[in-house]
Amino acid sequence: MTEILPAEGVFSLLWVLIALPAAGALILLLGGRRTNTWGPYLGILTVVGSAVIAVLMLLAMMAEPAEQRTVIQNVYDWVFVGSFQVSFALQLDQLSIVFVLLITLVGALIFIYSLGYMAHDPDRRKFFAYLNLFVAAMLLLVLANNYLLLYVGWEGVGLASYLLIGFWQRKPTAAAAAKKAFVINRVGDVGLSVAIMLIFVTFGSVTFQDVFGQVGEANEGTLTAIGLLLLLAAAGKSAQFPLQAWLLDAMEGPTPVSALIHAATMVTAGVYLIARSNAIYNAATWAATAVVVVGLITIFMGAIIGSAKDDIKKSLAGSTMSQIGYMVFAAGLGPIGYVFAIFHLLTHGVFKAGLFLGAGSVMHGMNDGVNMRRYGALKGVMVITFITFMAGYLAIIGIPPFSGFWSKDEIIHAAFERNSIIGAAAILAAGITGFYMTRMVAMTFFGKKRWEDDVHPHESPKVMTIPLIILAIGSTFMGMALLFWGNIEYWLEPVVGYESVPTPLPTWVYIVVTLVVVIIGAIIGWVTYARKDVPIEAPRGNLLTRAARQDLYGDAINDVLVVEPTYKSAHALTTFDNKAVDGFVTWTASFVGDLSKRLRRSQTGFARSYALSMVGGAIILLVALILVRLS
């Protein structure tokens, strides 16, 4: 078992990790316009500071033996209500640290990139404030040592995501997309909150140690329920089926946001949640199977949508869905998959951030145009962007030795360890990945110029290309580094567990088959979109293409299943309220009013009438007296 150490030395700075970006957000938001000039730099500085601390912590952690790498810092007593006791406590272990590094390092690069990308935006300060808020919340999410604190971070990133998707809120589409993301995330959040309640009722505690230590005592039905609720939460945050609809619209936000939040970090929070709750899923087989099914469905949905979209960011968003589907899929496989889910998460975080930033760079040069049918032949104009994008491209489709190859290959291998059918499905999805990414690259950088008349493509400034270069280097070497030098599976094993099951065929067979399928997909993409001319107007396409352009009818299904019934019931309730409730109230009021109008007539103003009623009262009194006397 792992030991839990108090936070000493560099680990005593654990709270500073969160406090730095939080303070940055606070200063930028409260400081107002006077921080306009230096605010963005302050934002970058806080995240870089956090990144430096995180690296120091990683070094300190690597110096410890594997069993002594879990650190808990109790910041203060938070909720103390009877038996419901929760501390504001931070936990740093092997799982947390890789997330912290991903968030702070990739975050820092994206911050720097944003400096160039958002250079002309009048609300740049606010943008950096929200990004800082996001980083703080995300760090809180991954550093929490209990589900309740995790929930705070979970909601915090949801808020930051909402604010940043709707950053250009003057655009109605952006405002609607922000609202949509927020609402769909609420569905998942309900799952998380109910799961936390269920966890507290079952285990009497919400801290990770207590819960995972007592998993053996709980019955499997309860654990399955908790697992499914956590899966619902993960599906909402990570845009998995059936709560996937928001992610494509979330691309309305600025591109750095898409890179940081909706590709690299926040959307992987669901994977983190599942990996963190591994003890629960290990004990609840059905919940784990549900995770696999959801992941598999999403892999294909994302890939198909990514193949059909002409909007470069939406295509990448579909790809993100698909890749997170891989991670969720891997996490559902159990101890054979957790470490590779996290591994893929890390490599994906880097190369997808690179791809998004590359897409942002292209858009920057193309007057913010996103339609790939108006790109083409950009490889000679944007050399650095092209080269870095190609690194990301090779990484995502899984060409050795690029990072995606190692992580995706391990996931496919793990899938075959469990079941050959799902393994084959994973390989097929990898082939589709090859197709749509080749399509994207071909339409953007190769082929003929299809630019609009007033577009003059140019390379982006250094402040944008340098992060791209760094991320490209990461995309190239990170997989190898983590696997061979970092021994990622053994690094994570104390937290999420790791086991390897022999597969029916030797490992190299799978690798070769996967590569062949990917290359076939890539060749199809190349032949279709680089060899032939790409029409500027999208062809009608076959049934699947049209469906994919409509996000596989995700919105339509939501409309029919949720939105319409909600509207109908709301209308019915309004009618009920207007007719029945208000009607009753109005009727009562008018009844009293009418009665008053009638009763008013009795006030004739004639003193004699009043005297008459006095005599009547006296008679009643007299009768009462006599009756009392007689009885």
Q: Which chain residues interact with another protein by CB under 8 A?
A: 600-601, 603-609, 611-612, 615-616, 618-619, 622-623, 625-626, 629
Give me the least distance between CB of 571 and another protein, in Å please.
43
Structure tokens at 166: 């709707």
Give me the least distance between CB of 595 and another protein, in Å please.
14
Give me the least distance between CB of 585 and another protein, in Å please.
26
Give me the least distance between CB of 623 and another protein, in Å please.
7
Q: Which is nearer to another protein, 541 or 616 (CB)?
A: 616
How many CA atoms lie less than 13 Å away from 534 in the CB half-sphere? 29
How many CA atoms lie less than 13 Å away from 128 in the CB half-sphere? 36
Give me the least distance between CB of 592 and another protein, in Å please.
16
Q: Which is nearer to another protein, 585 or 626 (CB)?
A: 626
Give me the least distance between CB of 587 and another protein, in Å please.
23
Q: Which is nearer to another protein, 544 or 625 (CB)?
A: 625
d(CA 560, CA 114) in angstroms, rounded, equals 39
Q: Which is nearer to another protein, 368 or 594 (CB)?
A: 594
Alpha carbon separation from 576 to 358, 514, 567 (Å, rounded)? 54, 59, 14
Q: Which is nearer to another protein, 588 or 609 (CB)?
A: 609
Q: Which is nearer to another protein, 562 or 625 (CB)?
A: 625
Alpha carbon separation from 67 to 13, 63, 242, 488, 612 (Å, rounded)? 21, 11, 39, 15, 99
Q: Which is nearer to another protein, 120 or 608 (CB)?
A: 608
- Name which of 140, 119, 109, 138 is nearest 40 in CA terms: 119
d(CA 379, CA 385) in angstroms, rounded, equals 8
Q: Which is nearer to another protein, 52 or 615 (CB)?
A: 615
In what helix (H) or strand (E) does residue 286 lie, and over which residues does it extend?
helix 285-308
d(CA 280, CA 230) in angstroms, rounded, equals 10
Q: Which is nearer to another protein, 562 or 621 (CB)?
A: 621
Give me the least distance between CB of 614 and another protein, in Å please.
9
Give me the least distance between CB of 588 and another protein, in Å please.
22
Q: Which residues pair with 74 in a beta bridge?
A: 89
Q: Helix H segments across 309-337?
A: 312-332
> In sequence order, what DSSP letters do the residues of 500-530 get, joined into one string?
----SS-HHHHHHHHHHHHHHHHHHHHIIII
Q: Which is nearer to another protein, 37 or 602 (CB)?
A: 602
CB 574: neighbour CB atoms within 10 A?
A: 10
Amino acid at 626: I
Give me the least distance between CB of 590 and another protein, in Å please.
18
Per-residue b/e over 173-200, b at no fewer than 16 CB within 10 Å?
A: ebeebbebbbebbebbbebbbbbbebbb
Give me the least distance between CB of 591 and another protein, in Å please.
19
Q: At what angle do helices 147-165 and 269-276 cross, to 10 degrees?
A: 170
Q: Which residues pair with 70 in a beta bridge?
A: 4
Q: Are 119 and 76 spatial neighbours (Cβ–Cβ below 8 Å)?
A: no
Q: Helix H segments across 64-171?
A: 94-101, 107-117, 124-143, 147-165
